[in-house]
A and B are shown apart, each in its own frame.
Chain A
């Protein structure tokens, strides 16, 4: 009985690992190594909340997990339509996993639109739980079902569980003084209860969560808890659900430590707070709301007791402008945005390059161009981050690889900004931002020391012996200029976007000086000390797959599949996109073939080809979704075979 796990498993062995048959009347319990569940419903059905809760239950149970929320850009798209479908996919396992999974084993479809929008992703044999109450003629017609898919045989290849979720929920809540409409709203909790029973999830966390969330409306809290329990009990008692499943904790997958579940945007926010503490500088965020970056603004605004100042500006330009002003004043300054916002901030980023002040520009990439796909993921801002400014304006780029890695990437971006006095791009994306995974909570003493020295006195002696302060006299090692903040006596100086004379920082239109300054600014960025790239190559492969950012999970999963199937492939993943690690060229030349999968049309490949004259092959997908491991494995196999 392997229908719970598709054959396309990451470890290629997704099977039932144990089975218990119990006495008459007691249901079977089967043990699985991993499961992929997708909750899908209308935008207003609370699918994201349901998914979040199931994730928390799963995290506290100790499984490894990876999530993929997927929702429309509209807050409330027209009810019951295909564009209004919101879904949440969760992959959990008794071993370490890397992606939210390619194909769900279980689909919970709260209405016909959710079924229609998601059925194509389901392998035959998958379980489908549908809310039959919503399968009215009108609702089905709205999404183009001429006949009911529940009755016309089109779902014969699946294990269909028709459940009148709405009716059962309303029935369960009849003791409560609620209108029918209010009672119906708890149907997502009924579904959560049912799934929690099916997979033996702990329930205390959800009950506690509901009591806290509805603390001011205890009736609603109790109604939701009642619906949640009713869902659990329904699974326990109804004949239709004959089997429940266990997925053991992934104890062996995790190093010793204390863990929590964390999303990319939360990890990134914490990384910024941690960087502020480690640098002993106040954190200043200048930002303008934009999907999918706004959650960082929301999160940081909660931490004023850490001395965090959050400034919601009048526009993207003012967001970064205020941050740059705060950087001049000695704050650890950050601006958060997505691609369209980066476009607006470009001129100020150029100013920051010229002023040589530390500044973090966090770009949570989304589908583009223009407004594009606000809630979908993409990696197509790499060249914008790299080159999207007038003049020669190099900016270092750091990219996290997983949701939890956003924490470390934020600290690394801060290190570079503070050490080299430069704006730094932190390129996350919508998938990392909203996806989540377990995170080993670091000890504070493991965190890097980011303390800086502000300039305190003169740094130059003139020919006549006068001691002066030169704002553009550089550290010979890092080429960083001194950071002299207002309030420091004797170091009064003026900086600006006009070309400056080397050393003094005075305005200079001298051609030779400009040439020197352009080269020096470039040399400073090129000389940033970044760790060498590590290659995972156990079998001396001929083909290297190189990635960056959020493709780490799918690429690694694909590589595992290929190796399990007996193929050799090497893998390397870039955290630093500018400058590249010093050994990258050497690494690339060691392989006959280099394949670069990206969620864009080949931006890293373009950089690599230009820089190293290596015939890198691009493998691209720009559909707003992360790569699927199976699809990548197939593409990489072709590269190996070809």
Chain B
């Protein structure tokens, strides 16, 4: 990975309080001395490389970057980043990171989690972090399987999945993480794929620039327990029909030569995929990630067929400005000092009604 310059973050409001690196950084600066211990061929390697490769672009003092994770294969991630890090407990990373980010606005706090960690045991913390809009960047590695416990179905596994714990097929309907995040009022929601380094990096770039909680779902291949789960999106031929690349301000077209497009169904108001013709070309939906209403973003998140993954949008679904929790928390502290003066312990302890005993 070529060295990247440290310019750029001065203008990003989300990172304005985080000190900048004094010297140019390279990918090497973000590699810890620990041996990476994922299975050979795991999609996590590609994501780690992309994140390590992207970090120098932010140009932040690396001592002001913290990675917090839960439990699962992906949650080993912080050990491999030469930043501050905490490998916590199952599902709780968003809660821990919330306390850190809310008390230290000079930090860039990242959460690394998986589909089991974030959506099963930690589902509650995830939705509450999203609704609060704490300044966190959450990278959700979705491989649609439990890897670390060796192959049980996960909350994103397709119905009927045969696994060790579901020999006759799983009965649970899966979560769609993007739909879930949008429903939880997330201010930034994106999806990308482990093997598409360029796309992944671009999504990271936009997530870092976002003020508040950013949820990035990363489709990640578990080559041991769920190999090829996203093959439809990766195989060059099938990807043409399967992948819809969302770009803000651009008509939503995909397929060979943009032959396919997304339009609004006039009868139902829902979205549907059509073959683009001169007649309907003007009706092709223009993607608006900044729309105040999450309705269309939600409709986009429902386009994909959960079994075949056909018509899977990737990119930034939603990126809107919303009050940021930790900013407002600090403002309340400032306001309290303005109104009442800086706290004086002696007068607090003395309170109102006192009496004095003299010798």
Contact = CB atoms under 8 A, between A and B. Distances in A.
A and B: real partners?
Answer: yes
Given A270-B348, A355-B86, A486-B64, A313 B337 contact: no
B336 interface: yes
B107 A322 contact: no
A497 B88 contact: yes
Interface string A252-271: 00111111111000000010
Interface stretch (A7-15, A173-181, A323-331, A379-387): A323-331
Nearest to B340: A305
B180 interface: no
A490 B63 CA distance: 7
Interface stretch (A54-62, A103-111, A154-162, A216-224): A54-62
B357 A254 contact: yes
Nearest to A61: B355
A305 B343 contact: yes
Interface stretch (B1-9, B40-48, B89-97, B260-268): B89-97
Interface residue tally of chain B, by bracket? Answer: 35 or more
A84 interface: no
Interface in A186-223: 205
A392 interface: no
Interface centre among B96, B99, B124, by most chain A C-beta atoms within 10 angstroms, is: B99
A506 interface: yes
B227 interface: no
B85 A326 contact: no
Contact of B333 (A56, A59, A309, A328): A309
Interface in B300-359: 329, 332-333, 335-337, 339-343, 345-346, 348-359
Interface string B290-301: 000000000000
B98 interface: yes
Contact of A284 (B61, B96, B99): B99
Contacts of B161: none
B100 A325 contact: yes
A441 B351 CA distance: 9
B11 interface: no
A329 B332 contact: no
Nearest to A445: B346
Given A270-B349, A322-B95, A307 B343 contact: yes
A273 interface: yes
Nearest to B341: A305
Nearest to A318: B95
A348 interface: yes
Nearest to A330: B104
Interface in A299-350: 303-309, 311, 313-315, 317-318, 321-331, 333, 347-348, 350
B350 A326 contact: no
A559 to B, nearest CB: 25
B248 interface: no
B182 interface: no
B349 A492 contact: no
Interface in B47-69: 61-66, 68
A531 interface: no
A87 to B, nearest CB: 23
B283 interface: no
B33 to A, nearest CB: 9
A333 B357 contact: no
A487 interface: yes
A60 B356 CA distance: 9
B102 A491 contact: no
Interface in A276-309: 277, 282, 284, 286, 303-309
Contacts of B74: none
B86 A303 contact: no
Contacts of B341: 305
Interface centre among B87, B341, B342, by most chain A C-beta atoms within 10 angstroms, is: B87
Interface residue tally of chain A, by bracket? Answer: 35 or more
B99 A488 contact: no
Contacts of A350: 89
Interface in A104-121: none
A463 interface: no
Contacts of B342: 305-306
B251 interface: no
A325 B64 CA distance: 14
Given A444-B346, A494-B32, A59 B355 contact: yes
B205 interface: no
B82 interface: yes
A493 B84 contact: yes
Contacts of B65: 486
B79 interface: yes
B125 interface: yes
A344 to B, nearest CB: 11
B92 A329 contact: no
Contacts of B149: none
A487 B64 contact: yes
B231 interface: no
Contacts of A284: 99, 102-103
A495 interface: yes
A43 to B, nearest CB: 27
Given A309-B333, A318-B125, A486-B66, A255 B357 contact: yes
A351 B64 contact: no
Contact of B355 (A258, A317, A330, A331): A258
A490 to B, nearest CB: 7
A441 B87 CA distance: 43
A318 B128 contact: yes
Contact of B100 (A62, A205, A326, A348): A326
Interface centre among A254, A326, A333, A498, by most chain B C-beta atoms within 10 angstroms, is: A326
Interface centre among A262, A350, A507, by most chain B C-beta atoms within 10 angstroms, is: A507
Given A257-B356, A259-B356, A486 B63 contact: yes
Contacts of A260: 350-355
Contact of B329 (A306, A309, A324, A331): A309
B83 interface: yes
B235 interface: no
Nearest to A447: B345
Interface in A428-485: 441-444
Nearest to A274: B345
B359 A309 contact: no
Contacts of A303: 336, 343, 348
B247 to A, nearest CB: 34
B124 A315 contact: yes
A491 B340 CA distance: 38
A326 B100 CA distance: 4
Contact of B103 (A273, A326, A442): A326
A489 interface: yes
Contacts of A273: 343, 345, 348
A322 B98 contact: yes
A270 B95 CA distance: 26
B106 interface: yes
B237 to A, nearest CB: 42
B173 to A, nearest CB: 24
B337 A492 contact: no
B63 A441 contact: no
B355 A60 contact: yes
30 contacts: A255-B357, A259-B355, A260-B352, A261-B353, A273-B345, A273-B348, A284-B99, A284-B102, A303-B348, A305-B337, A308-B333, A309-B329, A311-B329, A317-B92, A321-B95, A322-B96, A326-B103, A328-B66, A330-B103, A347-B92, A444-B345, A486-B66, A486-B84, A486-B104, A486-B107, A487-B107, A492-B82, A492-B84, A495-B85, A495-B86
Given A486-B107, A494-B84, 11 more contacts: A60-B355, A255-B357, A260-B350, A314-B124, A314-B128, A317-B95, A325-B68, A443-B346, A486-B66, A492-B62, A492-B84
Interface of B: 19, 32, 34, 61-66, 68, 78-79, 81-89, 92, 95-104, 106-107, 124-125, 128, 329, 332-333, 335-337, 339-343, 345-346, 348-359
